[in-house]
Amino acid sequence: MPRPIQARIDLSALERNLQVARRAGSARIMAVIKANAYGHGLLRAAEALNAAEGFALLDIRDAICLRDAGFSQTILLLEGFFTPDDLPLVAEYDLACVIHNQQQIDMLEAYPSRGSLEVWFKVGSGMNRLGFAPDKVPAALERLKAHPAVRDITLMTHFAHADEATGVAAQLDVFNTLAPYRMARSLANSAALLRYPATHADWVRPGIMLYGASPFAEVSAQQLGLQPVMTLQSRIIAVQELRAGENIGYGGLFRTEAPTRVGVVACGYADGYPRHAPTGTPVLVEGQRTRILGRISMDMLSVDLSTLPAADVGSHVTLWGEGLPVEQVAHAAGTISYELLCALAERVPIVTV
Ligand SMILES: Cc1ncc(COP(=O)(O)O)c(C=O)c1O
């Protein structure tokens, strides 16, 4: 029998979360499926999100894999191409490319093709990561417009604070200085899509909300009408009956103050569970909420069964997902849901429902 851990992927939840994005406005949807669809599996996620008008990802091999699987939507490379060698493949597979620096335009100009390339021109509106500073936009756009292979240009930017109180106003003001350019536009990630209709424009680019997690610290996924897609499940494989004053796990980080029943769960950091999750991180045993005790090991973690006398070897454990929002586990571990979902290890078997 295989180890009892598995990640259950609810494909209908993906479809329903896409509908939540759809209901928020009339923009076309560029579903962000980078990082193996935030850990959910590239092709299975794309199939469930097939109603989206486009898919955004990073790796050209993933883009080719989508085309080979028959997806005819716009496929956007979010970091564009990296070397001139990528360009024949970009053309062959009709991939849209983010252009975010001068070097990419240089490569494009040196490329002999007269093919047709869809460009998403990235404007740096304040995040200072990728994109042309506003004063560099006119010259760069002129070069692109003059290129015989460029058939279509969409202006895009990305927000640094759409999920926080700071909001999008300052970046939106910068981006809106480009209003005289009559081109399609794309600005919104999940947080902007849900909170700022003024950012919807022609294309929205939701990621995390499609996977059923809230982009906001203070609003739950449930309040947003989102359903968890990934549920990480395992079972208890051993029970320890400890006296007061005994240590648990590596480093003895947790010391019992009273007699304590401890369940050992087949899930560790090599499965993608965060090693830095502290004592107190929530976990479900047979649907009942309890807590992690002590340090997370490579293959196991310990949970408090003191209030769960019926729990025993074989009891079902939910690490996150249905009944336990991944955001809550991430918050306890000092990180964000994105990191936990993306970190799901390859060794964890996936079952789809
Ligand atoms: C350029 C771009 N657009 C959209 C997204 C989707 O963001 P989110 O997952 O917060 O919706 C990302 C994710 O980081 C991104 O890098």
143 class by beta-carbon count within 10 Å (0-12 exposed, 13-18 middle, 19+ buried) = middle
Q: Which two tokens stand for residue 268?
A: 């560790």
Phi, psi of 47 (to 5 degrees): -60, -45
- 34 assigned to active site: yes
Nearest atom, ligand 1, residue 78 CA: 1
Nearest atom, ligand 1, residue 130 CA: 1
Can you give the pLDDT at residue 116? 87
CATH 2.40.37.10 residue window(s) in the chain: 230-352
CATH 3.20.20.10 residue window(s) in the chain: 11-211
Question: Whole-angstrom Cα distance, residue 149 to residue 91?
Answer: 10
Query: Looking at residues 12-29, what average pLDDT do you find?
Result: 97
Nearest atom, ligand 1, residue 156 CA: 1
For the chain, the average pLDDT equals 96
Write the pLDDT tens digit of every residue in 302-311: 999 999 999 9
Residues 6 or more apart whose CB falls under 8 angstroms from that of 105 comprise 99, 140, 143, 144
- β pairing state of 260-265 and 230-242: antiparallel
Per CATH, is 11-211 categorized as 2.130.10.10?
A: no
Query: Looking at residues 115-130, what average pLDDT do you find?
Result: 94
Ligand 1 midpoint to CA 148 (Å):
30
Catalytic residue chosen out of the listed positions 93, 211, 250, 273: 250
Ligand 1 midpoint to CA 191 (Å):
9
- 250 assigned to active site: yes
Residues in contact with ligand 1 by the CB-under-6-Å rule are: 32, 78, 158, 189-191, 205-208, 215
Ligand 1 midpoint to CA 125 (Å):
15
Nearest atom, ligand 1, residue 38 CA: 9
Amino acid symbol at 316 = H
pLDDT at 114 over 80: no
Could you tell me which CATH number the domain at 230-352 has?
2.40.37.10
Ligand 1 midpoint to CA 206 (Å):
6
Can you give the pLDDT at residue 111? 84
pLDDT at 270 over 70: yes
User: Ligand 1 test: best mutation among 155, 156, 189, most atoms within 8 Å of CB?
Assistant: 189
- β pairing state of 96-99 and 74-77: parallel
Ligand 1 midpoint to CA 76 (Å):
12
Can you give the pLDDT at residue 2? 87
